[in-house]
Amino acid sequence: MGKKKMTPEQEQYKKLEQKHELKRPVLKNCLKAFLVGGTICLIGQAVSYFYMYFFHFTEQTAGNPTVATMIFFSMLLTGFGVYDHIGQFAGAGSAVPITGFGNSVISAAIEHRTEGFVLGVGGNMFKLAGSVILFGVFSAFAVALIKTLLIMWGVL
């Protein structure tokens, strides 16, 4: 993206824009994100240990039911409208954990239900999740391909 030559009016508008733009309290936001994100992970750890103690899951395999449970919690929080409030407060603290992924899919499904299940729910569910899956799968493909080829050629 090269710098386009701006006319004097555009330059002035840009200065005006910057003056009136909402200043983001970066430090406060980071602190809130830290606390909420950390708490969600803390709850996830407790859920993990719960599954290890009371069921036959080891440290390696407890990840699966833990993730499913966290997404279940996000379904409840999203359904009752609580997750949006948490999101307003915590920003990335609620978007980065896997509950944020769940929230985006679930809230899209709930919102578009009025348009019908096939076109509304099914068609709109993966709005945000789609880009996550796209880039996740493609980058994993590239990384795994490179690593496998390197191992096959004896470099690694």
Q: Are 37 and 92 in contact (CB under 8 A)?
A: yes
For the bound state, the minimum distance from the C-beta of residue 8 to other proteins, rounded and expressed in Å, comes to 25
The tokens for 82 are 């609580």
Nearest distance from C-beta of residue 2 to other proteins, angstroms: 19
Residue number, 16 or 145, with CB nearest to other proteins: 145
Residue with tokens 């719960």, as numbered in its chain: 50
Map residues 11-30 to x or -, x wherever contact with other proteins holds by CB under 8 A.
-------------x-x--xx
Closest CA to 66 of 77, 57, 78: 57
Closer of 6 and 144 to other proteins (Cβ): 144
112: part of which helix (H) or strand (E)?
Answer: none
Q: How far is the CB of 12 from other proteins (least distance, A)?
A: 22
- Binders of other proteins among residues 39 to 68 (CB under 8 A) are 39-42, 44-49, 52-53, 56-68
Residue 123 binds to other proteins (criterion: CB under 8 A): no
Cβ atoms of 129 and 105 closer than 8 Å: yes
Of 80, 88, 154, 155, the one binding other proteins by CB under 8 A: 80
2 or 27, CB closer to other proteins? 27
CA distance 35 to 90: 8
**Amino acid present at 137:** V
